[in-house]
Amino acid sequence: MQVTTDANAPWLIVGLGNPGPEYAGNRHNVGFMVADLLAERVGGRFKRAGKAQAQVVEGRIGPPGPANRRVILAKPMSFMNLSGGPVNALREFYKVPVAHIVAVHDELDIDFGMLRLKLGGGDNGHNGLKSMSKAMGADYHRVRFGIGRPPGRMQVADFVLKDFASAERKELDYFVDRAADAVECLVIEGLERAQGTYNS
């Protein structure tokens, strides 16, 4: 799918998760973890975004010159299944084309720590994506962070709302760092280059 947009338009990078300390370490909140790391990299702190139910950091990524990109990092402060409203409000406020939106989210159908980048597509049962697609269409980028499938007969809802296992936590920082690198590559160098480097 080839989407043409204004190259100078800002990018909106959305980490998906649930607000509140009780959810902070959950598998479902890996999007927040990546957004937090990107905020550190641009030297910003998340602040409430006006009327939108979200926290944002504005900054720039990329080398000086034409590859430098203005970005808005966002964490919706609604719950996951209502993410679309806050994201769409930010899109309208910052005048971001849908093709310049990147959702970073957990993905059950990929092994833990593996990444897949794509543009558009279905929501694969992910309530955050479902809400976003309903609010503004599906033609936005996704950085899918693998969390694997639940063991045994554990329900998916229980699995995603549990913290990463202790063995996973040993590697989690490395994989979150890699996901942040993938987001930067996507925004600066484009989807094809980012897929070639980070899709696993």
> Which residues are known catalytic residues?
28
Q: Which of 57, 58, 49, 65 is nearest to 8 (CA)?
A: 65
Task: For residues 148 and 133, give the distance between their C-alpha atoms in angstroms, rounded to a whole number.
Answer: 23
Q: Which of 123, 131, 23, 31 is nearest to 75 (CA)?
A: 31
104-162 tens-digit pLDDT: 999 999 999 999 999 999 998 899 999 999 999 999 999 999 999 999 999 999 999 99
pLDDT value, residue 5: 55
3-class secondary structure, 42: helix
| Tokens describing residue 55 | 């926290």
pLDDT at 4 over 60: no
